[in-house]
Structure 1
Amino acid sequence: MVHVGAVTRLLWFFLADTLTIGVWEKLADIEDPELKRLAGLLPDTVLHSRADSTTKKYLCAFQRWKQWAVPRDEVTVFPVGEVYFALYLQHLGETTASKSAVEEAVNSISWIHQISGLPPIAESPFVRATLSGLQRKLAKPKIKKEPVTTDMLVALVESLGRSPSLSDVRLAAAALLSFAVFLRYDEIAKLRCCDIVFAEDSMT
């Protein structure tokens, strides 16, 4: 295994028994002194391809995959096979019910594959289909807001009483105006007094 600098030694420690294939295997076989020196700098450079916080997050996600894979004799920890990784994603979906946990697993394994010179696991059509399915299943359903009715507006105005505050009157006026001319809140918020003209029987 290629030696690493002090800055990334701790992070690289978690991958030391994994990244022994692909480009790292070739780097370990280098004999030329100058090339070997340059090879020793690569781990630090590669780990800086992501922000420190992202790298740590990916390594934690990889450790979770490893803990799941190691007890299962037929599963190879690294490189990660698409079939078993899809099964792992299914496991994550069931145990965490978290879309972000599934996405993080795919991103982390893809990154670790990439820094070994291997195709990202996310490029597998089967893994992509599994990810898309879990994203849909785990997505929180959208709750549609109840449409505003005239009864609601009447109740709002009546709730103000005989001596409402200026802010209450402003709120009621905005609600009535929005309802009458189909304006969104951001459109109402941009209105100025000079934008409105009052007539005896209408307002423009």
Structure 2
Amino acid sequence: FFTDSTRLVSHWKDLEKYKFHPYLSGSVHALPAIVKNARATATNKKYDLYFEKFRKWCIQNYFSYLPASVSSVALFLGGLIQQKVSVSVLEAYFYSINWQHKISLNINPCLDDFLTLILEGGKRTLGKPLNKKEPITKDILLKLVRHYTIDKHNLLFLRTCVLCLLGFSGFLRFSELANIRMCDLDFQSNFLEIKIPKSKTDLYRRGNSVVIAKTRNELCPVFWLRKYIALAGIIEKSDEFLFTAINLKKISGEYKATNKSKSLSYTRCREILRSALKDIGLDSSLYALHSLRSGGVSAAANNKVPDRFLKVHWRWATDRAKDGYIKDSIEQKLLVSLNLGL
């Protein structure tokens, strides 16, 4: 679609002529859904939610919301900045208003330079120091596995170990980790291949995969995954999710996996990780689910795995994203001053 708002309106009027065309009407009616697919489903839901709040604000204050005027959007954003909302919330409102005007082919106020300046000024006003979570390390994983696998038949504990080991070794995001189904796993003699049908960096759904080696040591992800699958009773090559709810059966006193057609939520997975870290004496507030991903890539980078292989395994969109998650060891940081010839 065009960036010039006047041409957008003209373009919509041209399309309206074909709404009742015997051969072209289907294409015209299909366009809104096609346009919506330019953004991920989660992004569309987010934009719809924020725009609905903006719509209600406009109605309360007798403003038009579609199309909205530059002045009404400016007042709305200014109010948000005065309320000291987070930068992410401010951006969500701005881009939701921008998106709704784009897909409705209305004159877009967000293309105005004045609103762009308000957004940038708001980001500077509301900006706070970045507080990144600590990466999970191999030593932490070792403590977790030794703590939780004393009872190798406790399904609840095994789920925690496998979730952490796969997240760490596969550099998996939460969305990738939680949505693994049994049919996505391909066990080979020396490695495991996990198909990633949907990924943040795979915008056109071409499909990705991650291979994890069978290390045959105390932290072998493949060994513990096999044990977990057998204990959970997950059917081979089925559509059942790997990580699901687990309940304690009162009669037998054993843990059983339930509702395998539904994966664990982000909140529940975060609770599992934080509870496990507390159990081994760590401050759980320093870590998040992304700590598994950043921990895995930091370990690989500090062990001098070539960048090309890191990018493939990590599934990065850019080098900037990659560098943002690597935490260099003190030995790596000292390489600079040690090689200055002093």
TM-score by length of 2: 0.35
- Residue matched to 1:104: 92
- Residue matched to 1:188: 331
- Residue matched to 1:148: none
Q: Deviations over 1:167-189 (max 9, x none)?
A: xxxxxxxxxxxxxxxxxx64623
Distance 1:99 1:47, change over 3 A: same
- Residue matched to 2:27: 38
Superposed displacement of residue 114, structure 1: 1.2
**Are residue 121 (structure 1) and residue 264 (structure 2) matched?**
no
Q: Which residue type is aligned with residue 67 of structure 1? A: K
- Residue matched to 1:130: 118
Contact map agreement 1:24 1:116 (CA 8 A) in 2: no
Q: Deviations over 1:66-116 (max 9, x none)?
A: 11110112x111101111101100112223521111111111111111112
Name the CA distance, whole Å, in 1 between partners of 2:130 and 2:119.
Answer: 20
Superposed displacement of residue 22, structure 1: 7.4
Q: Deviations over 1:18-55 (max 9, x none)?
A: xxx97289538732122212112112111111000000
Distance 1:137 1:113, change over 3 A: same
- Residue matched to 2:43: 54
Could you say which structure has the larger radius of gyration? Answer: 1
**Are residue 68 (structure 1) and residue 57 (structure 2) matched?**
yes
The number of aligned residues is 134
Contact map agreement 1:86 1:127 (CA 8 A) in 2: yes
Structure 2, unmatched stretches of 5+, are 1-9, 132-327
Counterpart secondary structure, 2:66: coil
Distance 1:24 1:140, change over 3 A: farther
Counterpart secondary structure, 2:23: helix
Q: Deviations over 1:103-157 (max 9, x none)?
A: 11111111111112245433211101111111111001579xxxxxxxxxxxxxx
Q: Which residue type is aligned with residue 61 of structure 1? A: Y
Contact map agreement 1:92 1:102 (CA 8 A) in 2: yes
Name the CA distance, whole Å, in 1 between partners of 2:23 and 2:122.
Answer: 48
Name the CA distance, whole Å, in 2 between partners of 1:191 and 1:26.
Answer: 62
- Residue matched to 1:84: 72
Q: Which residue type is aligned with residue 56 of structure 2? A: Q
Q: Percent identity?
A: 27
Name the CA distance, whole Å, in 2 between partners of 1:190 and 1:130.
Answer: 39
Q: Which residue type is aligned with residue 139 of structure 1? A: G
Superposed displacement of residue 191, structure 1: 7.2
Runs of 4+, deviation exceeding 4 Å? none
Counterpart secondary structure, 2:34: helix
Which structure shows the higher helix fraction? 1
Contact map agreement 1:106 1:121 (CA 8 A) in 2: no
